[in-house]
Chain A
Amino acid sequence: MMTPHRAFALAAIAAALMLAASCADFTSNENANAGLSDVLIAHPSLANDLQPVFTARCAIGGCHTPAEDRIGLILATGYTYGSTVNVVSVHGSPLLRVNPGDHMSSFLWRMVQSDTLLHPGIPRMPLAAQPLTANMIQNIANWIDDGAPDN
């Protein structure tokens, strides 16, 4: 016959083992590419090559969408060109968001760099997420250096 003391001791041991063995049984690996193409393009198109990146990584809920309109910067389809090219940056003034022909002085390109000296006081974008890949960033630079055409 099991005594109450022994039963409680067994129950306590069982409970301790249960707690020790408990765990969340899943992994959560972030996909930095978000399913996007990650290839270097010498002369990228805004609509075909850059916009999918902006849509997936920037124009998401709470960020650069038409509804949110953070600092007047909308990176959703149909808005990106008018919102960036030759528009003075709010945080990076007097730099332009996109200065056609010169990616180094374009604040949009600077903001996606991990080097914080390029955007002092403001965290790298996309905010609180994995950075864009080197190819994605270079494609933005190539588009700007091509004169930032509305293509």
Chain B
Amino acid sequence: MRPIRSTVAALLALAPPILAQGALPSYVPPPASRTVEFHPISDPEGALMGYYSALLIFAPDGAPSAAKPWTVDVGVNLGYVPPLNYDQRTAGRDKPEATNLTSAFGYPKVTLWFPARIGLTAAYTPPFDVGGAKPYIYAFSLEGVLATVKTWEIVPRLTYTGGHITAPITCNKDLATSGNDSFEFYWTYVCNARESTDRLEPNQWSFEMNASGSWMQGRLLPFLGLGVVQYKTTFDIQVQTGSGIDTDHPILKMNATEGYGTIGATWVASPLWRFGGALFWEPGSVFTGRVSATIRLNGK
């Protein structure tokens, strides 16, 4: 099988679970009545949701670099997840939330280039257990070259990110051995000595304007981007009772519109391989670094 066909086959293989997820209604909580709390991104709970939502923004981790029609890029984005300090983890209580479960988050991704220098990217993080957190995150982006100014290309990009991550954040077994009487009591009586299966659901659209240049005869492609993201994030506290979820705990929601910026470069190592690095900053949420590696399966 030629590379292009195998890539298309891989894309098609990815499509059913992603489309199936999209075709289903959004996650439906258990039938028992649940309290829904809306938090602004400025309060402790909202800030935590905003922090993780920002880390999931599917921003470009390398310079947008359009290719001839039907070219396929396959790659991976990897972002650093900075650890939170004690105050940031407490979310309005003394008890810390178990938020430092992983130090990296990544997306395998596939981009198909269409005529008119338009690219469609699909990304999917499969549910591998990482430090107790299990992601099922997907993203789609549509980008195209809007204009060329000297050696700089102006590339708008629209992205949707959805799915969910489950993790023992509210009730983590670390509480039981924390050496703090209050936390151990909390583990026994509030957590029922069971880890929670809390569920973070990003549901966010983002739009960026990127400018991508060309240096060193096209081997180094600097870029910068400014974006705006609309969050509709849900955090479902799922404390386990042994016979199901303790429905007395609320479902938290955070709706916000925030701005962010990226700056970085892609190194074109060969006609096949490209390596990118970028700084990502969403004021009030996170400043972090991201890298990417991409193989261009055909074309230039």
Binding site for B on A (CB under 8 A): 2, 4, 7, 11, 14-15, 18-19, 21-31, 61-63, 65, 67-68, 70, 122-124, 127-130
Contacts and interface: CB of A to CB of B under 8 A. Distances in A.
A28 B182 contact: no
Contact of A25 (B80, B216, B286): B286
A31 B186 CA distance: 20
Given A61-B237, A127-B182, A11 B279 contact: no
B182 A18 contact: no
Nearest to B85: A24
- Which secondary structure dominates chain A's binding surface? loop
A127 B191 CA distance: 12
B248 A124 contact: no
B183 interface: yes
B297 interface: no
Contacts of B239: 62
Given A21-B279, A25-B287, A128-B94, 16 more contacts: A11-B267, A18-B277, A22-B80, A26-B50, A27-B47, A27-B88, A28-B88, A28-B90, A28-B92, A30-B44, A30-B94, A61-B249, A62-B190, A127-B185, A129-B94, A129-B95
B190 A7 contact: no
A123 B82 contact: no
Interface residues of B, number: 52
Given A18-B288, A25-B284, A61 B35 contact: yes
A137 to B, nearest CB: 17
Interface of B: 35, 44, 47-48, 50-51, 80, 82-85, 87-95, 181-183, 185-186, 189-190, 216, 219-220, 237, 239, 246-250, 267, 269, 275, 277, 279, 281-289, 291
Contacts of B89: 28
A28 B86 CA distance: 9
B219 A2 contact: yes
A127 to B, nearest CB: 6
Contacts of B85: 24
Contacts, number: 113
Contacts of B281: 25
Given A26-B50, A70-B189, A130-B94, A123 B182 contact: yes
Given A21-B289, A65-B248, A129 B216 contact: no
A62 B44 contact: no
A89 B258 CA distance: 49
A129 B87 contact: no
Contacts of A129: 93-95
B289 A22 contact: yes
Contacts of A61: 35, 237, 248-250
A30 B185 contact: no
A18 B288 CA distance: 7
B221 to A, nearest CB: 13
B283 A25 contact: yes
Contacts of B219: 2
17 contacts: A4-B269, A11-B277, A18-B289, A21-B279, A21-B287, A22-B288, A24-B88, A25-B282, A28-B91, A28-B92, A61-B35, A65-B248, A68-B246, A122-B185, A123-B181, A127-B190, A130-B94
A18 B185 contact: no
A2 B216 contact: yes
Contact of A19 (B182, B183, B289): B289
B248 A24 contact: no
Given A11-B277, A18-B80, A61-B237, A23 B190 contact: no
Q: Which of B82, B89, B216, B247 has the most CB of A within 10 A?
A: B82
Given A61-B237, A127-B186, A127-B190, A24 B249 contact: no
